[in-house]
Amino acid sequence: MVESLGRPLEKTYRPKVMNADQQPAWLGLFPDQDFEFHFGARSGDARAFFADTLEHTTLMASRRAALEEGPAQCLFEEPAAAEAVAECLTWAGLDGGGCRELALHWESDFLILLPDENGRFTFRAGAVCFPSSWRPEEKIGLPVHAIHSPVPTLNETLGARIDKFLAKLEPGRAWERSNWGLSRSPELNQHPSRDTPRLTPPFTDDEAWIRIEDQVLYRLPQTRALLFGIRLVNVSLAELKKFPEAQAGLHRAIATMPKEVADYKNVTEAREHLLVLLG
């Protein structure tokens, strides 16, 4: 959840924004350079991030379905987070309730992070209806950089930096970042219990999907808890191949990522096939 690709993202990817040539914003995620992890946070706008989009009706139907199918897998609210949840509800313009009300109000998944005794911000409440092949129910109480399965090389290189960055985030300020993975399915809810199809060759470029997570971190002014939002964007490999620079950038990233990272990103089994499809 917390890794990214390439150079600082403030110079590249800007979610949900089109440039003057009307090219998709995600092009900046695939620069022409070897794969590397980069925290890549940039100044953001939390209210804009959580605002409704044209896909609101469809997204909320999917969120309701996830909550009904497996509430214990996607809805979390520890007593210690009660004040922070209440502040989120007020900030969202809701009159009372809890994380379920927020989950049915916002299109985005969200986590509420509180500091532990060591000052690390840990997952204490939230709603994760659209996980990317991880089990949110197993991650309560973990720091943000350990919420996914351990990311190879990330905690050693960026974990302490992330903790320091979060501790210094000013109340009322928001920061955004993005990352990506690969999937055989465009389904939003890819909880491991749902048996999502594996990215196993053979497959066509219409059957492979780049799963982009746009993320925001916002320090709540009163409780000083952190609100961590996650939005998903699915882009087929066929769509990405319409843009030669992004095609070349993804090819280079897949070709140069270490095996342990390729395992984490669901690339290893399909690496050679993906490189052929990407030319």
Q: What's the CA gap between 120 and 139, in Å, rounded?
A: 14
CA gap 114, 151 in Å, rounded: 22
Q: How far apart are CA 213 and CA 233, in angstroms?
A: 6
Q: Which residue is associated with the tokens 């971190």?
A: 217
For residue 204, give Cα distances in angstroms to 182, 213, 236, 270: 13, 23, 10, 12
Task: Name the E strands within 68-194.
Answer: 75-77, 109-115, 121-127, 174-183
> In this predicted structure, what is the pLDDT of residue 168?
82
- pLDDT value at position 214? 94
How far lies 245's CA from each of 72, 102, 111, 141, in Å? 42, 39, 34, 41
CB 199 within 8 A of CB 208: yes
pLDDT value of residue 143: 86
* Residue where the block lists tokens 């499809």: 277
Identify the CA nearest to 74 among candidates 142, 122, 127, 140. Answer: 127
Q: What pLDDT was estimated at residue 4?
A: 32
* Predicted pLDDT at 5: 29
DSSP, collapsed to helix, strand or coil, labels residue 148 as coil
pTM over the 0.75 mark: yes
Give every residue of the chain whose pLDDT is below 70, as ranges: 1-22, 37-40, 148-159
